[in-house]
């Protein structure tokens, strides 16, 4: 995959690209529904010997069009790039979404962006795709323009998870409520956030549970609902199991909300490091305790519950790998 950044009114593909299979959209979360579209354009591009292109944006369009209604994002631009790097796309174009681009009528967007700049020969979109000023363009608009301008239009059927259609808005609701396992089924991977380890009050160490305090993410990133979570933490090449306290600290009066990471079997100094946290399961609510001693007893219970969770997860992963082997040991 080649990343291609482009401003709203300039840029395009290299001159040796004759034609493309394109999809376009915000793709916040790059969830299973989005992935179905990406797989479809890749397959169609290979069949027609064309180039596959995702045209997306450097920010959520509502931050420009209606800032007061802009939702928190599931994936930052950097996270989106990391995920898309795993796809088979030939190009990803990040358009700078500005006021000029927001005023494009559907016909202008298709002509000036998809046809003139990205040489679309086939356009693949999701079932609920809307585009252009005030999202007034739809599938009927695209099919009409495709006939006029010489490109095919295909619509990918919705993907379901948890008994509902996979949509970014629905995933945001699940993450807000702390239902991270259901969110993971819709995303196709655990929900994650990244933070830098900063100095805290040292209270966790005093209680016998040294924690790494993470700086709250910026850029409108959605933070899950408060709770105690079983998590997987990535620190460069190191991956560790752990627990995460997210939210208020009611046992200690006057303490601000925090994001505190406790890593199992880990004692290195990681101040200043960037940590990615994958949310695997919500263990319980945050609640007040009558004393620090009572809190410590609960923290021990949390640790045991988390260790049981990770042991069961490892066992299931092992069973899945065995089920995926043929009798001669080759992967199916």
Instruction: Kindly state the DSSP code that residue 49 receives in the 8-state scheme.
Output: T
Query: Which phi-psi region, left, alpha or beta, contains residue 147 (left: φ > 0; alpha: ψ -120 to 50)?
Result: alpha
Helix (H, G, I), strand (E, B) or coil at 251: coil
Q: Which one, of 253, 187, 139, 174, lies nearest residue 33 by Cα? A: 187
What's the CA gap between 59 and 69, in Å, rounded? 14
Q: Which one, of 161, 284, 265, 294, lies nearest residue 227 by Cα? A: 284
pLDDT computed for residue 179 by the predictor: 97
Place of tokens 């995926």: 324
* More confident call, 129 vs 239: 239
pLDDT computed for residue 268 by the predictor: 79
pLDDT computed for residue 269 by the predictor: 79
CB of 139 closer than 8 Å to CB of 130: no
Instruction: Please give the mean pLDDT across all residues of the chain.
Output: 87
**Segment 49-96, tens digit of pLDDT:** 999 999 999 999 899 989 999 999 999 989 999 999 999 999 999 999
- Measured at the alpha carbon of residue 134, what is the angle toward residues 129 and 136, in degrees to the nearest 5? 55
pLDDT computed for residue 8 by the predictor: 39
Q: How far, in Å, are 26, 29, 153, 183 from residue 156 at the CA level?
A: 16, 18, 10, 21
**Segment 149-175, tens digit of pLDDT:** 999 999 888 889 888 899 999 999 999
**Segment 276-315, tens digit of pLDDT:** 999 999 999 999 888 889 999 999 999 999 999 999 998 8
What's the CA gap between 83 and 71, in Å, rounded? 20
DSSP-derived secondary structure for 190-203: -EEEEEEEE----H
Whether pLDDT at 31 is above 50: yes
pLDDT computed for residue 330 by the predictor: 34
What's the CA gap between 258 and 138, in Å, rounded? 43
What's the CA gap between 22 and 53, in Å, rounded? 5
Residue 196's Cα: distance from chain center in Å? 19
Residue 266's Cα: distance from chain center in Å? 27
CB of 186 closer than 8 Å to CB of 156: no
- Residue 195 is encoded by which pair of tokens? 């933070």
Say whether pTM exceeds 0.85: yes
**Segment 196-229, tens digit of pLDDT:** 998 876 666 767 788 889 998 888 999 999 999 9
Whether pLDDT at 332 is above 50: no
Burial class for 202, CB neighbours closer than 10 Å (0-12, 13-18, 19+): exposed
Provide the annotated active-site residues.
260
**Segment 94-125, tens digit of pLDDT:** 999 999 988 888 899 999 999 999 999 999 98
Partners of residue 152 on adjacent β-strands: 122
Most confident region among 160-164, 249-253, 262-266, 274-278 by mean pLDDT: 274-278
Residue 20's Cα: distance from chain center in Å? 26
pLDDT computed for residue 329 by the predictor: 39
Longest dimension (CA), the chain: 73
Give the domains, in start order, of the chain with CATH numbers.
2-161 (3.40.50.620), 192-323 (2.40.30.30)
Whether pLDDT at 18 is above 70: yes
* More confident call, 255 vs 38: 38
pLDDT computed for residue 131 by the predictor: 72
Residue 36's Cα: distance from chain center in Å? 15
């Amino acid at each position: 995959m080649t990343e291609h950044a482009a401003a709203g009114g300039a840029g395009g593909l290299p001159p040796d690209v004759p034609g493309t299979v394109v999809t376009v959209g915000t793709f916040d979360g790059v969830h299973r529904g989005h992935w179905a579209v990406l797989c479809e354009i890749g397959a169609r591009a290979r069949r027609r010997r064309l180039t596959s292109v995702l045209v997306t944006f450097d920010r959520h369009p509502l931050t420009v069009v209606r800032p007061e209604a802009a939702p928190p994002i599931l994936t930052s631009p950097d996270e989106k790039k990391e995920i898309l790097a795993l796809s088979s796309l030939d190009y990803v174009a990040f358009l700078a979404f500005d006021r000029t681009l927001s005023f494009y009528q559907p016909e202008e967007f298709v002509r000036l962006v998809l046809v003139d700049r990205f040489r679309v020969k086939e356009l693949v979109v999701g079932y609920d795709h809307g585009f252009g000023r005030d999202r007034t363009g739809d599938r009927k608009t695209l099919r009409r323009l495709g006939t006029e301008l010489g490109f095919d239009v295909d619509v990918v059927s919705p993907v379901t998870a948890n008994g509902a259609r996979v949509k970014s808005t629905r995933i945001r609701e699940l993450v807000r409520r702390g239902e991270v396992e259901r969110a993971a089924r819709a995303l196709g991977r655990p929900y994650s956030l990244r933070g830098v380890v900063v100095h805290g009050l040292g209270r966790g160490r005093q209680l016998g549970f040294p924690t790494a305090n993470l700086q709250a993410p910026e850029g409108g990133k959605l933070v899950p609902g408060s709770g105690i979570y079983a998590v997987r933490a990535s620190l460069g090449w190191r991956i560790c199991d752990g627990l995460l306290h997210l939210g208020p600290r009611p046992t200690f009066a006057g303490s601000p909300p925090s994001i505190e990471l406790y890593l199992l079997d880990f004692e290195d100094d990681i101040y200043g490091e960037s940590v990615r946290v994958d949310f695997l399961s919500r263990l319980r609510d945050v609640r007040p305790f009558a004393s620090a001693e009572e809190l410590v007893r609960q923290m021990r219970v949390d640790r045991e519950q988390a260790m049981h969770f990770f042991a069961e997860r490892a066992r299931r992963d092992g069973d899945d790998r065995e089920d995926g082997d043929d009798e001669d040991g080759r992967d199916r």
